[in-house]
């Protein structure tokens, strides 16, 4: 069935601020919502007062009119082109059509010629405070009628005002925070989205808007407050914060309570100009710094304040709030009174979050994580004496991710433990496979400082060795010096336990931490790995030569073997051999290799640097 074409003269006019009107309609969140008794009471009253069979609350959407309430009409919506109500939007007070068949705008309208056979129509627009008509409340009869009496007109206008008041009240309730009675996050988002489109770059700074987020407690502190002193205390804390912040804001600035212990506001015009902004931020920061008193107990929390100019943030209220929140987070972390949004930092935080989220999945997937093996050679014989296991991650969307990026991230979370376990299991599997095939080389595994800080690390390693049938001297661990600097007692205990199991321990990246060389004597290690930054230009840099020479000498005197990592040139290789360094590892010898490639490399015979064959 095709609907009859509506002649152009009969099409409803498009209101002047149509885009604003449609945006407002969205903000009220009425479209396609279930029926509500309060609206149905109004339409029932309208039908009764005006003695008509049909009464509607109609919202005029882009292409349709949709009925929030309807008495006497079976359909939920009709096309906008047919909607009488769409004609009523522009009328100052009422649109009354006494007989549609006699009105050239409506005579051919399918709602007139067919069902529901409209003859009489009277509608009053539902207008917001800023004059945008969302739709109408209207009454309809299938008989022509006389014009409305003044009393009837008044009744219809009153019903329209009642409907609008209810629409506003309905919105206000959903827009208030129950604890502080401040506007909530939804209100913030609606208000931001109602702001005029972003200021152009040429706009003077005085006209820009700036969103400020105030975190009055770190999230664990707020959780702790709730847990230890109860929700009543946490609520009182928020009320107190709201009061203090509100008192620090420029006049007529709306404060929003967007989530637990988090507040936000928008500064505009003069208030957002640099000087004013700084003094406002200073006032807020001072106001929330003094401890909150609860039943005589002072409770101190850490706070953070972040701001972002709307023109510097991705568009939309959600993004604006996120950007300012990220800045507040930075302020809290760095213990600065406030921070501006930093896109670069935000992007890094975003990526870090994404990586951490995908890392768990990666550990479960078959094809994302794998181990590369980089040979270590004896500098005197040029023979391979072992390999270092280096973790590789190919992210399904982001491609290869360096362990130098994701391992430190994992170290900041509980993920480091399962990650290390994944690596150890993978290496033990490979080592036992190689041993069965007659490849008898120890493999070094990198572990994190946090692994050694957990009390059962050595026990878990022992259990894994058992499970894989791998002897303790078939592997060793590389630990970075910084790991040895923190949590000394536990780290020492675990290192001794590993040594007692028969596992060798190398100090990785030696020379990059803050420890003195004398520190070496306390560490139960077997070898020292001099960091690649000293090795790369060793043949030319005198200061590197001095550092490396004395390290080799001291380490040997204390009974350690010495490994040089990052050997990239034959000159470096020669220099190191000449100065008594035991082992070398680096691109000159081989890049880290997949297991099969490593086997091929081994099969090709002992390594000899090109420069030395001459
Ligand atoms: P690292 O343990 O000091 O490993 C040596 C790094 O230097 C490796 O980088 C290796 O590929 C690279 N390298 C080797 N030879 C040369 C060379 O001649 N020149 C240059 N420029 N680089 C060379 P990679 O694989 O990117 O690993 C970076 C760091 O990530 C490692 O430093 C280690 O701290 C960490 N890491 C790698 N795998 C693991 C792991 O399984 N667990 C833990 N906890 N950390 C790991
Ligand atoms: Mg290493
Ligand atoms: Mg290293």
Span 412-425, pLDDT tens digits: 888 999 999 999 99
pLDDT category at 526 given cuts 50, 70, 90 is very high
Given this model, what pLDDT does residue 614 score? 34
Residue 80 near residue 64 (C-beta atoms within 8 A): yes
With 80 as the cut, is the pLDDT of residue 1 above it? no
Question: Who's near 16: CB < 8 A, 6+ residues apart?
Answer: 90
Cα–Cα distance, 604 to 607 (Å, whole number): 8
User: 33: pLDDT confidence band, cut at 50, 70 and 90?
Assistant: confident
377 CA to centre of ligand 3 in angstroms: 16
Region 463-485 average pLDDT: 87
Copy the structure tokens of residue 446: 């990198």
Closest CA to 58 of 37, 80, 36: 80
Which segments of the chain belong to CATH 3.30.70.270?
Answer: 185-341
Taking only the tens place, the pLDDT of each residue in 148-162 is: 999 999 999 999 999
pLDDT 10s digits, 529-583: 999 999 999 999 999 999 999 999 999 998 999 999 999 999 999 999 999 999 9
Report the distance separating Cα 341 and Cα 324, nearest Å: 6
Q: Is 508 in the pocket of ligand 1 (CB under 6 A)?
A: yes
Which one is the CATH code of 352-613: 3.40.1110.10, 3.30.565.10, 3.90.1200.10, 3.20.20.450? 3.20.20.450
Q: What's residue 605's pLDDT? A: 80
State the distance from the centre of ligand 2 to the C-alpha of 388, rounded, in angstroms: 7
| 372 alpha carbon – ligand 2 mean position (Å) | 12
- In the prediction, which pLDDT does 611 show? 42
User: Which is nearest to 210 in space by CA: 305, 331, 311?
Assistant: 311
* pLDDT computed for residue 612 by the predictor: 44
- Gap from CA of 392 to ligand 1 centroid (Å): 10
pLDDT at 203 over 90: no
Ligand nearest to the Cα of 535, by number = 1
Q: Is the pLDDT of residue 484 over 60?
A: no
User: How many CB atoms lie under 10 A from the CB of residue 475?
Assistant: 24
pLDDT band at 174 (very low <50, low <70, confident <90, very high): confident
For residue 480, the ligand 1 atom closest to its alpha carbon is: 34
Question: Where do we find the tokens 């992007």?
Answer: 347
**Whether the predicted model's global pTM rises above the 0.95 cut:** no
Question: What is 18-174's CATH superfamily?
Answer: GAF domain (3.30.450.40)
Q: Which two tokens stand for residue 254?
A: 């709306």
User: 219-255: string of b/e by CB count within 10 Å (b at 16+)?
Assistant: eebbeebbeebeeebbebbbbbbbebbbebbbeebeb
Nearest CA to ligand 1 atom 12: 566
In 3-state terms, the chain is what percent helix, strand and coil (to 5)?
45, 20, 30
Domain with CATH 3.20.20.450 in the chain: 352-613
Tell me which range, 11-15, 176-180, 281-285, 313-317, is most confidently predicted by mean pLDDT: 281-285
Distance CA 268, CA 280 (A): 12
Q: Which residue has the higher pLDDT, 3 or 431?
A: 431
Q: pLDDT > 70: what percent of the chain?
A: 93
Q: How far apart are CA 555 and CA 396, in angstroms?
A: 43
Ligand lying nearest the CA atom of residue 417: 1
Q: What is the pLDDT of residues 373-395, one digit of tens each?
A: 999 999 999 999 999 999 999 99
Residue 422 confidence (pLDDT): 97
**Mean pLDDT, residues 173-190 taken together:** 90
Q: What is the pLDDT confidence band of residue 609, given thresholds at 50, 70 and 90?
A: low
Pocket perturbation via mutation, ligand 1, pick of 402, 424, 446 by most ligand atoms within 8 A of CB: 446
Whether the CB of 566 sits within 6 Å of ligand 1: yes
Q: What pLDDT, on the 0 to 100 scale, is given for residue 198?
A: 56
CA dihedral 531, 334, 307, 246 (to 10 degrees): 170
- pLDDT the model gives residue 122: 97
Looking at the DSSP assignment, which residues form a beta bridge with residue 265? Answer: 212, 255
Determine if ligand 1 sits within 6 Å of the CB of residue 404: yes
Q: Which of 589, 511, 504 is nearest to 555 (CA)?
A: 511
User: What is the number of H-type helices and E-type strands within the chain?
Assistant: 22, 22
Is the bond preceding 385 in cis, omega lying within 30 degrees of 0?
no
Contact 138, 58 (CB under 8 A): yes
Overall average pLDDT of the 440-453 stretch:
91
pLDDT greater than 90 at residue 399: yes
Assess whether pLDDT exceeds 60 at residue 483: no
Q: What percent of the chain stands above pLDDT 90?
A: 75
Position 189 pLDDT exceeds 50: yes
Q: Cα–Cα distances in Å, from 535 out to 532, 548, 554, 605?
A: 5, 8, 17, 25
Q: Is the CB of 568 under 6 A from ligand 1?
A: yes
Q: Give the pLDDT confidence score for residue 339 in this predicted structure.
A: 97
Domain(s) labelled CATH 3.30.450.40 in the chain stretch across 18-174
Q: Is the distance from CB of 391 to CB of 404 less than 8 angstroms? A: no
Structure letter (DSSP) for residue 195: S
The DSSP line for 580-596 is T--EEESTTT---B-HH
Measured from the CB, is residue 565 less than 6 Å from ligand 1? yes
Q: Over range 70-80, report the average pLDDT.
A: 95
Return the best residue to mutate from 355, 368, 390 for the ligand 1 pocket (most ligand atoms within 8 A of CB).
Answer: 390
Q: Are 371 and 430 in contact (CB under 8 A)?
A: yes
DSSP state of 107: T
Q: How sure is the predictor about 193, in pLDDT bands with cuts at 50, 70 and 90?
A: confident
User: In whole angstroms, what is the distance from residue 37 CA to residue 43 CA?
Assistant: 10
**Atom number, ligand 1, closest to the C-alpha of residue 410:** 44
Find the mean pLDDT for residues 74-90. Answer: 95
Q: Is 586 in the pocket of ligand 1 (CB under 6 A)?
A: yes
> Is 427's C-beta closer than 6 angstroms to any atom of ligand 1?
no
Q: Average pLDDT of the chain?
A: 91
Q: What is the pLDDT of residue 172?
A: 81
d(CA 319, CA 321): 5
Lowest-confidence region among 2-11, 106-115, 331-340, 455-464: 2-11
- Say which ligand is closest to the CA of 403: 1
pLDDT band at 7 (very low <50, low <70, confident <90, very high): low
423 CB under 6 A from ligand 1?
A: yes
Q: In whole angstroms, how far apart are CA 531 and each of 393, 445, 486, 528?
A: 23, 16, 19, 9
Quote the tokens at residue 147: 């014009």
Ligand 1, atom nearest to 531 Cα: 3
Q: Per-residue pLDDT for 345 more than 50?
A: yes
CATH superfamily assigned to domain 185-341: Reverse transcriptase/Diguanylate cyclase domain (3.30.70.270)
Which atom of ligand 1 is nearest to 588's Cα? 18
CA distance to 262, 299, 338, 339, per residue, from 334 (Å): 18, 21, 9, 9
Distance 555 CA to ligand 1 centre (A): 22
- CA-based end-to-end distance of the chain: 92
């Amino acid at each position: 069935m095709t609907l009859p074409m509506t002649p152009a003269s009969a099409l409803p006019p498009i209101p002047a601020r149509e885009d604003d009107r449609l945006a407002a309609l969205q903000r009220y969140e009425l479209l396609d919502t279930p029926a509500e008794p309060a609206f149905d009471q109004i339409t029932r009253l309208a039908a009764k007062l005006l003695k008509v069979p049909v009464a509607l609350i109609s919202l005029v959407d882009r292409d349709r009119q949709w009925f929030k309430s309807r008495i006497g009409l079976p359909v939920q919506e009709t096309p906008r082109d047919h909607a009488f109500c769409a004609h009523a939007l522009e009328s100052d007070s009422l649109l009354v059509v006494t007989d549609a068949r006699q009105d050239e705008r409506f005579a051919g309208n399918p709602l007139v010629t067919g069902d529901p056979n409209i003859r009489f129509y009277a509608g009053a627009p539902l207008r917001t405070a800023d004059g945008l008509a969302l739709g109408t409340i209207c009454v309809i009869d299938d008989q022509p009628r006389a014009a409305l009496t003044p009393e009837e007109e008044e009744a219809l206008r009153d019903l329209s005002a009642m409907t609008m008041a209810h629409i506003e009240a309905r919105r206000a309730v959903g827009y208030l925070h129950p604890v502080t009675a401040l506007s909530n996050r939804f209100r913030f988002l609606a208000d931001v989205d109602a702001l005029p489109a972003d200021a152009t770059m040429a706009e003077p700074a005085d006209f820009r808007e700036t969103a400020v987020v105030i975190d009055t407690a770190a999230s664990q502190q707020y959780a702790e407050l709730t847990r230890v002193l109860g929700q009543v205390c946490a609520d009182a804390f928020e009320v107190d914060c709201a009061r203090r912040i509100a008192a620090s804001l420029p006049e007529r600035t709306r404060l929003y309570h967007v989530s637990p212990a988090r507040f936000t506001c928008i500064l505009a015009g003069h208030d957002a100009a640099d000087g004013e902004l700084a003094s406002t931020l200073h006032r807020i920061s001072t106001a929330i710094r003094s401890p909150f008193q609860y039943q005589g107990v002072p409770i101190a929390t850490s706070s953070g304040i972040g701001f972002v100019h709307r023109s510097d943030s991705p568009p939309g209220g959600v993004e604006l709030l996120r950007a300012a929140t990220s800045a507040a987070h930075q302020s809290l972390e760095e213990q600065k009174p406030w921070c501006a949004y930093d896109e670069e930092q935000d992007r890094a935080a975003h990526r870090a979050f994404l990586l951490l989220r995908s890392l768990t999945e990666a550990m479960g997937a078959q094809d994302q994580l794998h181990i590369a093996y980089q040979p270590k050679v004896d500098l005197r014989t040029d023979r391979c004496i072992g390999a270092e296991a280096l973790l590789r991650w190919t992210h399904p969307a982001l491609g290869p991710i360096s362990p130098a990026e994701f391992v430190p991230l994992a170290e900041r979370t509980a993920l480091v433990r399962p990650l290390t376990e994944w690596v150890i299991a993978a290496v033990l599997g490979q080592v036992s496979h190689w041993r069965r095939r007659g490849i008898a080389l120890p493999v070094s595994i990198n572990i994190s400082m946090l692994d050694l800080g957990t009390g059962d690390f050595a026990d878990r390693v022992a259990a894994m060795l058992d499970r894989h049938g791998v002897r303790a001297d078939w592997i060793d661990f590389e630990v970075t010096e910084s790991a040895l600097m923190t949590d000394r007692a536990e780290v020492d205990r675990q290192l001794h336990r590993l040594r007692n199991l028969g596992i060798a321990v190398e100090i990785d990246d030696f020379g990059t931490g803050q420890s003195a060389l004398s520190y070496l004597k306390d560490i139960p290690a077997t070898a020292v790995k001099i960091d690649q930054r000293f090795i790369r230009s060793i043949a030319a840099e005198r200061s590197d030569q001095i550092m490396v020479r004395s390290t080799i000498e001291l380490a040997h005197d204390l009974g350690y073997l010495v490994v040089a990592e990052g050997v990239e040139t034959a000159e470096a290789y020669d220099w190191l051999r000449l100065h008594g360094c035991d082992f070398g590892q680096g691109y000159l010898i081989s890049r880290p290799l997949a297991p099969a490639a490593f086997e091929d490399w081994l099969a090709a015979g002992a390594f000899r640097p090109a420069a030395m064959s001459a």
